[in-house]
Structure 1
Amino acid sequence: MNGSGNRALLVVDVQESFRRHELWPTISNPDIVAPVSTLVEHARAEGDQVVWVLHTEPGTGNVFDPSSGHVRPMADLTPAGDEPVLTKTAHNAFTTTGLDRILTRLGVRELAVCGIRTEQCCETTARIAADLGYDVDFVTDATATNPVAHRDAPAGRSVGELLADPRTLQTGEIIARTEYALSGRFATIRSVAEVTGPG
């Protein structure tokens, strides 16, 4: 992205729900707020739109249920008054939010994607965005994820059992696979430094 004035930063699911989730101790980047804050500050300085997206699961009683009080940006992340804060019930940021309509109205054609989880809501958002015709930067080091259980693993296991299972896909592998899947097809893989640096 190069200062064209038609850009937006999508901050996907960087919300307190994850800090309250049992898997939070396994998160790949517990300091996710820092790189996301850097991107937000840079976007605002450049005059780019910032859009916040929060995942909700109404009626579930879990940490993603709005009634839990945790469906809000993580501490130290504060949307500005003119920045949309959307709630979604799907994995991607487009399907249940009207995001495409908002971005189209604003003239946005270039997106940077950051947030939680790398291979789930962030990757799915990047894929949909590319299919809708947006030029997408996937800012991997401003994403975070958790280990993923093998498809044949029994439900209801503890975090310790998840981590002890040699079939569990670890966060480094997940992030690498996401980059392989997106690069050259759906997005340009970039770092926070590349997005915020000169040029």
Structure 2
Amino acid sequence: MFDLSPADLAGPVLDCCAGGASFAAETPNVLAVDPSYAVGFDEMARRVRASLPGTDAIIDDHRDAFEWSWYGDPQRRLEIRSRAREMFLEDLRDNPSHYVAGALPNLPLAAKSVDLALCSHLLFTWSDQLDEQWHRAALAELVRVTRREVRIFPLVVQGTGEPVEFLDRLRAELPPSELRDVPYRFQRGARQMLVIDARR
């Protein structure tokens, strides 16, 4: 969903907040950060395995807000996500150093400690629950820990696909940024990521 190239992944990458995603398990140089990692492996496994029905309920409640060109159909999406979940749990068990407990807007990372920071399905998409001031602090923190670039996706409200009222206002306060098209398609209207130049 972030349209990543091999060059993008050449240096250290932050996945925040990563949850039960398999990105760190599949990709070298990735550090996954999420507050839920503090609960330990057994509880994390229970939570991740119980979470799929809850996220599918959001889709069921807003069926018109999603398209299926990427996944094919709901069953195929469930299969992909189930495999990713088990891959994540295997890596969490075998390589716990890939996973750090922490949360925005206060990450347990040194300044400029990663080349690229990725944040999916947290900032902006939960703007109906996390307010503008929280987003301002979270964006500043992602820029603080990143040497090169911050990428955030999606930029519409979860479920409804509505635009985020304060996106442009926060962009005006950030280092130079752009809205860049991504190939990933699922939630209608979610066709762009925010790319922030963190080098300044």
Does the TM-score normalized on the shorter chain lie above 0.5?
A: no
Q: TM-score, normalised by structure 2?
A: 0.42
TM-score normalised per structure 1 = 0.42
